[in-house]
Amino acid sequence: MGFTVAIVGRPNVGKSTLFNRLVGKRVAIVHDMPGVTRDRRAGAATLLGMDFTVIDTAGYEDATDDSVEARMRRQTDQAVEEADVALLLIDSRAGVTPLDRHFADLLRKAKTPVILVANKCEGRAGEPGLYEAYGLGLGEPVPVSAEHGEGLSDLFFALQPYA
């Protein structure tokens, strides 16, 4: 668990699915992050023998007076600050949305390096989003399917420099 990876992005892109895929059955080790928010959770992940801590940014279901945007921004900022590298997930089937661009803008300003991950790429349905994703200016997207467990070796190679 030498390094920490934050999974960030707008709701519904598959962050928790990827988190669960990486953490697998080691749910016993999953714990609430210390601090004020329950919006993030950490787990012990392993990917092709590489061990790391992964942080899922869970969303904003809890009622507060904050705007959705403020909550997303805060939990993203905190997770990214704690991490050695951030995975910005997009839903490649949905294509790049204005909210994805918003996240990309936030991450471009952060010091933490970013790996762009195009999720839901099983089959060919993800291809349009994959090409759009290049336009986010965060480098080459790594196509994966968190649900089907595809593209994980490419994710491994993208993360390896941070191990």
Q: Which of 4, 6, 8, 15 binds ligand GDP (CB under 6 A)?
A: 15
Q: Reduced to 3 states, what is the DSSP secondary structure of residue 120?
A: coil
Q: Which of residues 58-117 bind ligand GDP (CB under 6 A)?
A: 59
Residue pair 140/131 in contact by the 8 Å Cβ criterion: no
* Binding-site string for Mg ion from residue 15 to residue 44, where x marks contact by CB under 5 A and - marks none: xx----------------------------
* Total residues binding ligand GDP (CB under 6 A): 15
Is 128 an interacting residue with respect to ligand GDP (CB under 6 A)? Answer: no
Q: Which of residues 136-155 bind ligand GDP (CB under 6 A)?
A: 145-148
C-beta closer to ligand GDP: residue 118 or 138: 118
Phi and psi torsions of 25, nearest 5°: -90, 0
Q: Which long-range contacts (CB under 8 A, 24 or more apart) does 17-24 make?
A: 17/119, 17/146, 17/147, 18/87, 18/89, 18/117, 18/119, 18/144, 18/146, 19/43, 19/54, 19/56, 21/146, 21/147, 21/149, 21/152, 22/46, 22/47, 22/54, 23/54
Is 119 an interacting residue with respect to ligand GDP (CB under 6 A)? Answer: yes
As measured in angstroms, the least distance from the Cβ of 96 to ligand GDP is: 15
Question: By the criterion CB under 6 A, which residues form the site for ligand GDP?
Answer: 11-17, 59, 119-120, 122, 145-148
